[in-house]
């Protein structure tokens, strides 16, 4: 049977799901030797490195995926989150803005941008970002939670209560989206 990047990718995904990260990474690396310009392979390698706890290697792989295709929103979303997790807020913000330039209707990027601002105690910009996320997707539970907390920081009791009410309604209706 001939080895190909598609089969190696699928095998690596199964290995990663089982927690066999070292083996999964080896499969992705082998697949990449067969198809060096495949954004999906680099993305999946980055996600596997992330899951294995190697955030620097994850960033390197995801940045390579971004170099191949700078319009892939999922790559930018993941990079923003990883940069946030290592407290590189400037890079996280840059990834969010780059992604939002490509798709200003992406509620996940707006939410991530808000999280970064919130953690910088920039509650005004955090509020605006969370409001955009909720405006785009009124069922985005993470953004509603974050907006509620931001309203509380800003002293907006009415806004915080509205977010709590929406979250309760979403839970009641089973429309919970994270």
53-70 tens-digit pLDDT: 999 999 999 999 999 999
Using one digit for the tens of pLDDT, what is the confidence trace for 109-124?
999 999 999 999 999 9
Looking at the DSSP bridge assignments, the partners of residue 177 are 140
**Residue 100 and residue 106 in contact, taking contact as beta carbons nearer than 8 Å:** yes
- The whole-angstrom separation of Cα 67 and Cα 24 is 23
- The whole-angstrom separation of Cα 120 and Cα 152 is 16
Using one digit for the tens of pLDDT, what is the confidence trace for 131-178?
999 999 999 999 999 999 999 999 999 999 999 999 999 888 765 544
Torsion region of 94: left, alpha or beta (phi above 0 gives left; psi -120 to 50 gives alpha):
alpha
pLDDT at 178: 47
Work out the pLDDT band at 2, boundaries 50, 70, 90. Answer: confident
pLDDT at 172: 82
Sequence-ordered list of residues with C-beta below 8 angstroms from that of 161, at least 6 positions apart, any chain: none
The DSSP output letter for 117 is H
């Amino acid at each position: 049977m001939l080895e190909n990047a598609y089969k190696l990718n699928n095998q690596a995904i199964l290995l990663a799901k089982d927690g066999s990260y070292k083996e999964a990474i080896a499969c992705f690396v082998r697949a990449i030797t067969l198809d060096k310009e495949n954004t999906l392979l680099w993305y999946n390698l980055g996600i596997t490195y992330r899951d294995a706890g190697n955030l620097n290697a994850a960033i390197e792989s995801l940045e390579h995926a971004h170099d191949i295709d700078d319009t892939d929103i999922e790559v930018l979303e993941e990079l923003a989150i990883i940069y946030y997790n290592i407290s590189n807020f400037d890079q996280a913000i840059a990834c969010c803005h780059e992604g939002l330039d490509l798709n200003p209707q992406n509620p996940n990027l707006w939410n991530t941008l808000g999280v970064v601002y919130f953690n910088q105690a920039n509650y005004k910009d955090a509020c605006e970002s969370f409001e955009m996320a909720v405006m785009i997707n009124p069922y985005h539970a993470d953004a509603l939670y974050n907006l509620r907390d931001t309203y509380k920081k800003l002293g907006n009791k009415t806004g915080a209560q509205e977010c709590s009410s929406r979250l309760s309604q979403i839970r009641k209706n089973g429309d919970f989206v994270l």
